[in-house]
Amino acid sequence: MKTYPLNDNIKNFASVFKENGFSLYIVGGAVRDFLLGIRNSDYDFCTDALPEQIMSMFKKVIPTGIKHGTVTVLFKKESYEVTTFRTEGAYSDQRHPDSVTFVRNLEEDLSRRDFTVNAFAANCLDGQIIDLFDGYKDLKNKVIKAIGDPVKRFEEDALRMMRLARFCAKLGFSADPETIEAATKLCENIKAVSSERIFDELSKTLMSEIPTVGLKIMEDTGILAHILPEVQRCRNTEQTKVGSTNVLDHIYNCTDASAKLNYSLTVRLAALLHDIAKPVTMTVNQYGFLRFYGHDVKSAEMAKEVMKRLKCSNKMIDDVCIIIANHMVRYNENWTDGAVKRFICRIGKENINNLFELQWCDQIASEGRAKVEEYDPLIARIKSLENQPMSIKDLAVNGEDLAKIGIPKSKEMGEILSKLLEMVIDYPTLNQKDTLLDQARRIRSTSDSQEQA
């Protein structure tokens, strides 16, 4: 087997361990990716030195994950994460190992890892690669295979079933049949894994080159039905598009398009969730055609629930849902400037590009081609209106100004500001302090007289 290429800094780092009677290895992804010819300088080091021994060997050591035996060593301008050889106790809650035990040898540390191709170790003195579980053979055959008994490995940590899907998607590998069988048997255990870990794995799968390689493994093993039942349900809703006969295949094509075009996680999540309300909004019209009225807005509502369940950040939820809710909006040249500006306000300037990208993915998955050139006129109009007032903060008056003329800081003030904005969007030249204060007084007096009547 090839030897791992070590730079001088790593060799010097390893010498310090040797001088103190310890060994040092690079393990996991960095070695695997080197053997595959993929760049990966995200080094995970492991050693037989205990955390406190590492701390006494170097001046700058940060105890980043000391409970699990991980410290970060700052060594000549580089920072290296080093973990003491360890084994893990049972995962009785399917989430965290009950205990972590430090061990003296590398073999025991490697045998607690998930897949054969993730269990390579490279000696940091000479670059020699150690492969105890025939990982090199699996790498050549492009197979992800659990180390030892897959049922036991997935029982220890159910997240490994999603990692199986993720690595297949990332590397374009297939899954070993026995490993798949074990995941199928234990798919329900995924429910015990924390939402944060699930979302993290799902995101990494979506960020792979061909996400649907992983999504299909999740579907085939039954994991998808547990983590994203709303997506799974789309399998049984018919719909004929280019390369798909049901909504889930269309979703898969849309998601793969988002990855092929190297779009952001926001757009990829939106692609995955953009049509999830089709099963619940489907109707059949008088000619027997299927219709999905309102599926855009309803899909956004459902996506919000899904993402809340997965504990996504509020910003991610808002960014994904706004583009899903508007993914059916089509521009035409009859839009007035006011309509263009309202569109910009509704979506938010920073989300417009994401919306276009989602629509292009949807077009590729529906019609085989993104109609990018058709967006030029809208993009030009957005650009030409860019500097016009479009949000409350662009108004020539603020809450303080309104308070000074006796409007209390309340819901009423918010409503008045919104009405002023509506007016300014249609008549930008009216965005002047005195004019807006007059208008505010007028709006207030008309609403007062309406209330009295």
357 binds ligand ATP (CB under 6 A): no
Classify residue 376 as exposed, middle or buried by CB count within 10 Å of its CB (0-12, 13-18, 19+): exposed
Q: Which of 113, 145, 278, 327 binds ligand ATP (CB under 6 A)?
A: 113
27, β-bridge pairs: 44, 121
Taking the complex as a whole, how short is the minimal distance between the CB of residue 408 and ligand ATP, in angstroms? Answer: 55
Residues in 149-168 at the binding interface with ligand ATP, rule: CB under 6 A? 157, 159-160
> Of 6-14, 23-31, 247-255, 379-387, which part binds Mg ion (CB under 5 A)?
23-31
d(CA 219, CA 228): 10
- Binding partner of 70, given Mg ion, ligand ATP, none, CB within 5-8 angstroms per partner class: none
Residue whose CB is less far from Mg ion, 204 or 295:
204
Residue 368: CB atoms within 10 A of its CB come to: 11
Which residues, in sequence order, are CB contacts of 398 under 8 Å at separation 6+?
A: none
Stretch that binds ligand ATP, among 39-47, 342-350, 364-372, 396-404 (CB under 6 A): 39-47
Range 146-150, long-range pairs (CB < 8 A, 24+ positions): 146/114, 146/115, 146/116, 146/176, 146/178, 146/179, 146/182, 147/111, 147/113, 147/114, 147/115, 147/116, 147/119, 148/111, 149/182, 150/176, 150/178, 150/179, 150/181, 150/182, 150/183
SS3 6: coil
Residues 6+ apart with CB under 8 A from 417: 392, 395, 399, 402
Residue nearest to Mg ion (CB): 29
Regarding 29 and contact with Mg ion (CB under 5 A), the answer is yes
Stretch that binds Mg ion, among 34-42, 150-158, 250-258, 297-305 (CB under 5 A): 34-42
* Residue 114 touching ligand ATP (CB under 6 A): yes
Residue 97 near Mg ion by CB under 5 A: no
Tokens at 15, concatenated: 């010498």
* Structure-token pair, residue 13: 């780092």
Q: Which of 24, 29, 259, 267 binds ligand ATP (CB under 6 A)?
A: 29
Task: Specify the stretch interacting with ligand ATP by CB under 6 A; choose among 114-122, 127-135, 171-179, 407-415.
Answer: 114-122
DSSP state of 24: E
Residue 196 beta carbon to ligand ATP: minimum distance, rounded to whole angstroms:
14
Residue 114 interacts with which of ligand ATP, Mg ion, none, CB < 5 to 8 Å by class = ligand ATP
| From 37-45, 208-216, 297-305, 373-381, span contacting ligand ATP (CB under 6 A) | 37-45
Which residues in this chain contact ligand ATP in the complex, by CB under 6 A?
A: 28-29, 40, 42, 44, 113-114, 118-119, 157, 159-160
